[in-house]
Amino acid sequence: MDHEGALTPRQEDIERILLSKADIASIVCRMGEELTKDYRDSNPLFIAILRGAVVFFADIIRAVQCPLQIDFMAVSSYGSAAKSSGVVRILKDLNTPIEGRDIVIVEDILDTGITLNYLIKNLESRGPRSIEIAAFLVKDVPGQRSAVLPRYVGAHVPDAFVVGYGLDYDERYRNLPYLGVLKPEVYS
Ligand code: PRP
Residue 5 resides in a domain = no
Residue 172 resides in a domain = no
pLDDT computed for residue 78 by the predictor: 61
pLDDT computed for residue 14 by the predictor: 96
Atom 8 of ligand 1, residue of closest alpha carbon = 115
Residue 188 resides in a domain = no
Rounded-to-integer distance, Cα 21 and Cα 24, Å? 5
Active-site annotation, residues:
111
Confidence class for position 47, pLDDT limits 50, 70, 90: very high
Q: What is the mean pLDDT of residues 181-188?
A: 92
CA of 39 to the centre of ligand 1 (A): 26
pLDDT computed for residue 79 by the predictor: 56
Residue 170 resides in a domain = no
Collapsing DSSP to helix, strand or coil, 80 comes out as helix
Tell me how far CA of residue 179 lies from CA of 18, 89, 96, in angstroms: 6, 28, 32
Burial class (CB in 10 A: 0-12, 13-18, 19+), 130: middle
Q: What is the mean pLDDT of residues 39-53?
A: 97
DSSP 183: P
Residues ≥6 apart with Cβ < 8 Å to 21: 4, 177, 178
CA of 109 to the centre of ligand 1 (A): 7
* 107 Cβ inside 6 Å of ligand 1: yes
What tens digit of pLDDT does each residue of 13-39 get?
999 999 999 999 999 999 999 999 999
pTM of the predicted structure, to 2 decimals: 0.92
Closest atom, ligand 1, to C-alpha of 49? 8
Mutate which of 115, 149, 171 for ligand 1? The one with the most ligand atoms within 8 Å of its CB, which is 115
Domains held by the chain: number: 1
Contact between 154 and 27 (Cβ < 8 Å) = yes
Residue 10 resides in a domain = no
What tens digit of pLDDT does each residue of 88-146 get?
899 999 999 999 999 999 999 999 999 999 999 999 999 999 999 999 999 999 888 88
Question: Which range marks the domain in which residue 142 is found?
Answer: 20-160
CA of 68 to the centre of ligand 1 (A): 24
Contact between 63 and 31 (Cβ < 8 Å) = yes
Residue 40 resides in a domain = yes
Helix (H) or strand (E) holding 72: strand 69-75
Residue 180 resides in a domain = no
pLDDT computed for residue 147 by the predictor: 82
Tell me how far CA of residue 91 lies from CA of 49, 73, 88, 108, in angstroms: 11, 8, 9, 18
Atom 6 of ligand 1, residue of closest alpha carbon = 52
Rounded-to-integer distance, Cα 11 and Cα 6, Å? 9
Collapsing DSSP to helix, strand or coil, 187 comes out as helix
Q: State the CATH number of the domain containing residue 56.
A: 3.40.50.2020
CA of 178 to the centre of ligand 1 (A): 18
Confidence class for position 85, pLDDT limits 50, 70, 90: low
Mutate which of 78, 106, 108 for ligand 1? The one with the most ligand atoms within 8 Å of its CB, which is 108
State yes or no: pLDDT of 169 exceeds 60.
Answer: yes
* 21 Cβ inside 6 Å of ligand 1: no
Residue 131 resides in a domain = yes
What tens digit of pLDDT does each residue of 61-82 get?
999 999 999 999 999 866 555 4
CA of 2 to the centre of ligand 1 (A): 30
